[in-house]
Structure 1
Amino acid sequence: MAECNDLFLKFNDEIKLGSEKKKSLRKSRNAVGKDIQKYFDETLKVTKPKFWGQGSYMMNTIINPIEGEYDLDSGVYLMHLSDVEEEDWPATSTVHNWIKNAVKNRTSTPPQDKNTCIRVIYKDDYHVDLPIYIKNKDMEHPKLAHKSKGWIDSDPKELTKWFTDEVKEKSDQLKRIVRYFKAWKDFKANGDKFPSGMIFTILTANHYVEGYEENDDSAFVAVAKEIYDTLDENFSLDRPVFPKEELLEGWSETAKNNFLSKLSTLITNGQKALEEENKEEASKIWIKVFGDRLPKYTPPKEENRMDKGYALQTTEPPVLGNYGRSS
């Protein structure tokens, strides 16, 4: 059976955030942080906030989008309120205005005031989201400034730690499979409702299948099948850490069925690719799943050459065993 692990690893290199882009994003994030600290120091004249990266950038599962913007999240922790009781905290609209005013001149596009963050938009196809938190000395977890809901439970550090521990227990393959699901969504969503990157991250960790560590193609199909079987039986997902909440709440039956249908098609095509004996044909199937960022396999050309009177002929590498078993 055709084995396409090498093509998947090349695909991972294509969609994974490169070192230069990572450096550029980090530079922009740090510049935004300096703006905020300067505003708090010079204008508000209070203790400067601290920052904590969160989301896919910190988990190292962020991907290069086909179109659209990179999403970078940097939590802003208001240290000057850490000794203040919650009933005396300012309104969430007030702290949103502080951050918005602090970064208003950072880019030519005005910052957006969203429910859960202030968004700084850069022209180089990326933005920095700035969720705002307070954690006083008596609280185990911080609270997020939600513009319409007030101060709500939220602790992104817990989710980052949880995923880091999952990777340590399983392997770096877990991060690659998360990237593959995000790339599949990027190619296939076309405006349809798909799970968020965070939800794909949790689903992949929850349904990781051991035994395919050297074969990302087989591992991806095995995990997809586990996710499908679980969601088809019960379309539900709990956040694995504080705050415990249902993450798939609010999906309509149409949206659920549409997503499960796409996931089923992914599994069917993936299984066909795993069972295909010709690697070139298998790669064509995978390209239909992910798009042409996944490389097409081209068989090496046979060549004859003479060396000291002997004819040496190159041969194609042997096809490995059957990795098409389902899980």
Structure 2
Amino acid sequence: MGIQKHFKAFHDTIKLGRKDDAYASAREKDDSIKEAIKKTFDESGYPVVDDFIQGSLAVHTGIKSRDTDFDIDRAIVIDSADAPENPIEPKRKIKDVLEKRGFTNVRIKKPCVTADYKALDLHIDFPVYKRSGTDYKLAVGKAGSSDENKEWADADPKRLEAWINDDSSYLGSKRDKHDQFRRLVRYVKRWRDHQFSEDVARKIYSIGLTVMIKDCFSPSFDQDGKPCDATALSQTLTNILSRGYFIQQMEEGRYRVKVALPVNPWRDIFDGSSVNTGTQLFNKLSRLRKKVDQALAENDEIKQCRILNEVFGDEFQVPDQKNESKTRKAAFATAGCVGTSQGA
């Protein structure tokens, strides 16, 4: 297994799923708040017709937060026929519910209502949609927004989830390849959290990283069908850096990043992001690829892990050399690894 066993241990340490025991209290709080919102919306004349988890938990790419916070992204859906003209109105109702239930820092942001529940290390986002048939529109606007800055805007959360979860373009062992794709997303999200300042990391959106990796994913498995995550990551990063997401600016070595949503409204995920954000992302992705390639070229597992620990953080553990007297060589881990290009 070589370096792959260390990637597996890293993945098992950082991954988070909605059904995980560590998530139990957050899940119970989410369910309770959801019922309170439904009651309030019903009393207000626009009953909830659907609700669903979206984001990383819906597509199985969630990771444990470094600050121990649990994130919930819960969509609330009302019928278009019942929806108020003002999209801020239902968001104010959610804000009232959250404040009464002990949440702090409750804010009506442009795409959602967001709040924290410190007792459970819980951060929660509630986007509100109105739906007509299969068409969704998102309640957009902050509290106090002028008419031109608030709207029911085109959105397609279900198709976005389906696009990320789709494995139809993979040849052969589709499930194994899609599982590898999800692992790569988790690795890169943890890398972002480790390598960037908190302020910059917030602007390197998880959905942007996920779309780039999905678009550029290059699966890699050895001749026995065993995954080679390091090779897959290297090849996928090479594709990302050459795909055209990074737009060279007039000043040499400066970039903007542009990644289009793969579904309606097809907007740029990083719209409005600074040149500084794009430049940092390009340079650090380039360095990540270089470090992964450096690890692949090493012949010693401990040295490989030291290199990867540097880019991913201490959750990518370096084995104790005293307990690794029979360290396997990396050549065993990477021999026969082949990359395939059936990405999404």
- Supply the distance in 2 between the matched residues of 1:119 and 1:316 (Cα, whole angstroms): 48
AA aligned opposite 1:11: F
Q: Secondary structure at the match of 1:11?
A: helix
Secondary structure in 1 matching 2:190: helix
CA contact (8 A) 1:167 1:174 kept: no
Specify the alignment match of 1:179 in structure 2. Answer: 186
Q: Does the 8 A contact of 1:56 with 1:62 survive in 2?
A: yes
Deviation at 1:250, TM superposition (A): 3.0
Corresponding position: 1:142 with 2:149: no
> Aligned letter for 1:298?
D
Structure 2 vs 1, CA of residues 37 and 284 (structure 1 numbering), >3 Å: closer, same or farther?
A: same
2:254 maps to: none
- Corresponding residue for 2:125? 129
Could you tell me whether the CA contact under 8 Å between 2:301 and 2:327 is conserved in 1? no
Q: Tell me whether 1:104 sits opposite 2:99 in the alignment.
A: yes
Could you tell me whether the CA contact under 8 Å between 1:117 and 1:146 is conserved in 2? yes
User: 1:220-231 alignment to 2 at 5 Å?
Assistant: 220-231=233-244
Distance, in Å, in 2 between the alignment partners of 1:316 and 1:134 is 58
Paired letter, 1:101: D
| Paired residue total | 307
Q: Residue 200 of structure 2 is aligned with which of 185, 192, 197?
A: 192
Secondary structure at 1:72's aligned position in 2?
A: strand
- Report the secondary structure of 1:120's partner residue: strand
2:145 is matched with which residue? none
CA deviation digits over 1:154-210, x for unaligned, max 9?
121111111111388442111100000000001001133553100111111111113
Report the more deviating stretch, 237-246 or 11-20.
237-246
Other-structure match for 2:166: 165
In structure 2, do the counterparts of structure 1 residues 56 and 298 end up closer, same or farther at CA, with 3 Å as the change threshold? same
Look up the match of 1:264.
286
Larger radius of gyration: 1
Which runs of no fewer than 5 residues in structure 2 stay unpaired? Answer: 142-148, 171-176, 248-256
State the 1:321 CA deviation: 5.4
Tell me the residue number matched to 1:311. none
% same residue: 26
Q: Say whether the 8 Å CA contact 1:15–1:64 is kept in structure 2.
A: yes
Gaps of 5+ in 1: 304-314
Separation in 1, partners of 2:117, 2:168: 31
User: Residue 111 of structure 1 aligns to a residue in which SS?
Assistant: strand
TM-score by length of 1: 0.84
Contact 2:138-2:153 at 8 Å conserved across structures: yes
TM-score of the superposed pair, with normalisation by structure 2: 0.80
